[in-house]
Amino acid sequence: MTRSPIPGPTPGPTPDGTIVATRDPGAALDARRRTTTDGRTAIGPVAHLAEERRRLLALEWQHFDARLLAATLGAEIAGVDLTVELPEPVIAELRTALHEYKVIFFRDQPITPAQHVSFARRFGELEVHPFIPPNPEHPELVRFEKSAEVAGYENAWHHDVTWRECPSLGAVLHAIAVPQVGGDTLFADMIAAYEGLPDEVRASLDVLDAVHDFMRAFAGQVPAERRAAMRDQYPLVTHPVVASHAATGRKHLYVNRVFTDHIVPDAAAGVADAGAASALLDRLCRQAETVEYQCRFRWEPNSVAFWDNRAVQHYAASDYWPEVRIMERASIVGARPTR
């Protein structure tokens, strides 16, 4: 569809020569990302998002309404009550919505811990996290309880638990207490991030593997006398740098700064040694920082976020210290990532 320009005053040079422009600078360029002259910054439209944005805006749902929050991810769901046991057709449609939007949000859901566990379990078996304390009565619920004494250190882009042989397919996070301002969670679309890379880069990534390690984040949680046992239980694992989503088949980046230790060098793929592998890992992790791939959720008490841990990375803003922020998360066991 061709869009007509918005009418407005016609700019032009001023008689004294102060303004020489006759049109917007973007009018001389096509709709492609450009690199600044110093080579450090990409600017301009992220045009490959347009088709997905149009597709998501056109979706319709039978059992609820959904409002798209960002170009290719994030939707706020209305018309669903998580405090009751939902019929299977509603659960099935929510599962589809999760795959489409990659993260879905619910407001005003005063769920109990038992209801939280019950809802999450409708989507699969639940994990028990070995390195973060749980809700005292429900070990399936990881509890993040932040205060002046316990600050937030989750402000780095990551997929959860990629150090597991079978990382979680998704997570349901419930806000119990949140600061008046701050503590938002951001999500980045790793499908869009992959598709936004140059063709030649994508071709080389498709054969690469990366090693993931729980010790990068949780070494301090493991007593010295338990480290050998924990390493036996959770050995180093290798996952594809680019995985295919188990439900949609779409390719997405699957490396992150928190748990990915290194990319395995592969000369045939143009990654000749550890130095090249490190530089590539840094480049791929920076893809999550592209604002156009992100959505941001501002929490309220009893808000719930349900994200696809394969398709998105997330980042919990740590801008609220010393205020209190209490969240509980149920994570759903997934399959081993594959190409």
Torsion of CA 37, 38, 40, 43, to 10 degrees: -20
Q: Name the nearest CA neighbour of 240 among 179, 307, 162, 295.
A: 162
158 catalytic per annotation:
yes
Which candidate in 129, 160, 213, 239 is catalytic? Answer: 160
Q: Could you tell me which residues come within 8 angstroms of residue 208 by beta carbon, excluding any fewer than 6 positions away?
A: 240, 241, 242, 263, 264, 266, 269, 271, 280
314 catalytic per annotation:
yes
Which candidate in 116, 129, 138, 158 is catalytic? Answer: 158
Largest CA distance in the chain: 80
Q: CA-CA distances (angstroms) from residue 63 to 101, 117, 162, 297, 307? A: 16, 22, 33, 23, 19
Q: Where are the alpha helices (DSSP H) in the chain?
A: 50-57, 88-101, 113-121, 190-195, 199-205, 215-218, 227-233, 274-285
Residue where the block lists tokens 């020569």: 17
Q: Which residues are catalytic?
A: 158, 160, 314, 329
